[in-house]
Amino acid sequence: KPAAAAAAAADSGKKELKREFKNGMEIVNVAMGKPDGKKAAAGKRVTMKYVGKLQTGKIFDQTKGAATFGFRLGVGEVIKGWDVGVEGMRVGDKRRLTIPPAMAYGKKGIKGAIPGNATLVFDVELVNVA
């Protein structure tokens, strides 16, 4: 299980840089925040900065300047790839999430922004946990 592997990596003092899942989801730790920073967990309200791109590199959505995006983690307020990919982050952490269509917007996509069956790439930073 990826969670067990991540826990083992954390216990050994090494942070696993990249986690890949059979469905195509990929989580890469790009930068680490404070080791004692607040941790994102299911049910907590998290505040993020992000850039969302198609695999072509075309940006379809992002926070700009001081703007942030907040949601409750693990309760389906965002796409499944975010609920999975943000869990366990600490304030200041940055990750790159590669999210397959089944954990994003599926066959339909979002008209005018995201084609159907698109794999999405998000660069995310955890700003706060409440």
Which residues are catalytic, by number?
50, 60-61, 79, 105, 122
Beta bridge partners of residue 59, listed in sequence order? 53
Find the Cα–Cα–Cα–Cα dihedral 53, 6, 36, 46, rounded to 10°: 40
Find the Cα–Cα–Cα–Cα dihedral 49, 53, 58, 64, rounded to 10°: -10
